[in-house]
Amino acid sequence: MGTPVNRSTLLRAASAAVATAAGVALLAACGGEDSADKDKDTDKAAARTAEPGAAAGSAAPAAAGSFTVTHVGGPTTILEIAGARLLLDPTFDQPKKYKSGLEKTQAPAFGTDRLGKIDAVLLSHDQHDDNLDDTGRKLLKDVPVVLSTPGAHKRLGDHVTGMKSWQTEELKTSRGTIVVTAVPALHGPDGVDRGADGEVTGFVLSGEGVPTTYISGDNASVKVAKQVGDRVKKEIGPIDTAVLFAGAARTPAILDNAPLTLTSKNAALVAKDLDPRRVVAVHTDSWNIYSEDMKSLEKAFQDQGVADKLVGLEPDGTARKLS
Ligand SMILES: [Zn+2]
């Protein structure tokens, strides 16, 4: 397993013992009073002071063992797992065109004012608008833990932890520990090297009472996903849930329109190879560079005989408890 650097990311203890009306201990997620001042003039203050239940998803952490998923749009998804609320690839802009040529075509299910408390952002990469847009970028400084690539750390600053593949970080929650392992992702077809522009990380969540979860990030390679799956199964155990970034993102500007994320067929092949109990598919909507949608995913999963694994989530902001 190489020599992973183990660092413990202790969520602030200030409010660790605070209990909600439901008697659920909250994570020390959004900072203590020490961070209150800097919030005053940000549009994220509302998000950080949102009442539990005020968010479109549930702002209260999930019960142990349960797994709730809220799809906001594009890759942006909230996972409520093992007592934590984790946000994947924040994008909250309204529809607009970007200098990069990307265009957001659909509004997020809700804005950051209804996001509720977020304990950590898992950011697959920062250099593409559809994985971190302008509003998502502003949000980062108000989240206590941001895990991403070494390049993101360099560009975004010390607030972002840059993780190399197979490095681990521990998120301490009121219910225990979530081990976050950075895993390889290839932002293009097998064999290509996109250099810094293609630097992406996936993540695996594991730990006692934590359903083992693979988050692909912007990965287009079945081979890379399989290598991740093989190692995770060997060293951690079976994968409970795979969150796959599908949609076959394409742009003429890069590799002549080659798929930069999983095609529907390749997502189904990954589902077959990794054999998770279920697949939550995201990254198929809201941006002009996604060339395959949820319908084609459903068909591909049927064709590969894994339709029963697919959890297709509309980007409607509804918190769905997975069974
Ligand atoms: Zn990307």
CATH number, domain of 288, equals 3.60.15.10
Q: How many domains does the chain have?
A: 1
Give me the phi and psi of 89, to 5 degrees please.
40, 80
Question: Distance between CA atoms of 323 and 307, rounded to whole angstroms?
Answer: 16
Q: Tell me the CA–centroid distance for residue 41 and ligand 1, in Å.
A: 30
Q: Tell me the CA–centroid distance for residue 217 and ligand 1, in Å.
A: 8
Residue 225 in domain = yes
Residue 78 in domain = yes
CB 158 within 8 A of CB 146: no
Residue-level pLDDT at 67: 94
Query: What is the four-CA torsion angle of 19, 77, 185, 160, rounded to 10 degrees?
Result: -50
Range of the domain at 22: 6-313
Q: Tell me the CA–centroid distance for residue 16 and ligand 1, in Å.
A: 35
Give kind and range of the element (H or E) at residue 176.
Answer: strand 176-184
Residue 204 in domain = yes
Q: Tell me the CA–centroid distance for residue 28 and ligand 1, in Å.
A: 31
Residue-level pLDDT at 44: 35
Residue-level pLDDT at 65: 66
Residue-level pLDDT at 307: 97
Q: Tell me the CA–centroid distance for residue 26 and ligand 1, in Å.
A: 33
Q: Hey, what are 228's tokens?
A: 């991740």
Residue 159 in domain = yes
Q: Tell me the CA–centroid distance for residue 64 and ligand 1, in Å.
A: 32
Residue in 204, 205, 142 with CA at minimum distance from that of residue 173 = 205
Question: Distance between CA atoms of 121 and 297, rounded to whole angstroms?
Answer: 26
Q: Tell me the CA–centroid distance for residue 210 and ligand 1, in Å.
A: 27
Which residues in the chain land under pLDDT 70?
1-65
Other residues' Cβ atoms within 10 Å of the Cβ of residue 25: 16
Residue 287 in domain = yes
Question: Distance between CA atoms of 60 and 16, rounded to whole angstroms?
Answer: 13
Q: Tell me the CA–centroid distance for residue 281 and ligand 1, in Å.
A: 16
Q: Tell me the CA–centroid distance for residue 35 and ligand 1, in Å.
A: 31
Question: Distance between CA atoms of 266 and 285, rounded to whole angstroms?
Answer: 17
Q: Tell me the CA–centroid distance for residue 187 and ligand 1, in Å.
A: 7
Residue 319 in domain = no
What residue type is 197 in one-letter code?
Answer: D
Please list the alpha-helical segments (H only) found in 144-277: 150-156, 222-235, 264-274
Question: Distance between CA atoms of 176 and 23, rounded to whole angstroms?
Answer: 17
Q: Tell me the CA–centroid distance for residue 207 and ligand 1, in Å.
A: 28
Residue-level pLDDT at 318: 93
Residue-level pLDDT at 195: 84
CB 170 within 8 A of CB 178: yes
Question: Distance between CA atoms of 118 and 126, rounded to whole angstroms?
Answer: 18
Q: What is the largest CA-CA distance in the chain?
A: 55
Residue 320 in domain = no
The shares of helix, strand and coil residues in the chain, as percent rounded to the nearest 5, are 25, 25, 50
Q: Tell me the CA–centroid distance for residue 250 and ligand 1, in Å.
A: 10
The per-residue pLDDT for range 268-321, each reduced to its tens digit, is: 999 999 999 999 999 999 999 999 999 999 999 999 999 999 998 889 999 999
Residue in 172, 190, 39, 164 with CA at minimum distance from that of residue 113 = 39
The per-residue pLDDT for range 124-162, each reduced to its tens digit, is: 999 999 999 999 999 999 999 999 999 999 999 999 999
What residue type is 93 in one-letter code?
Answer: D
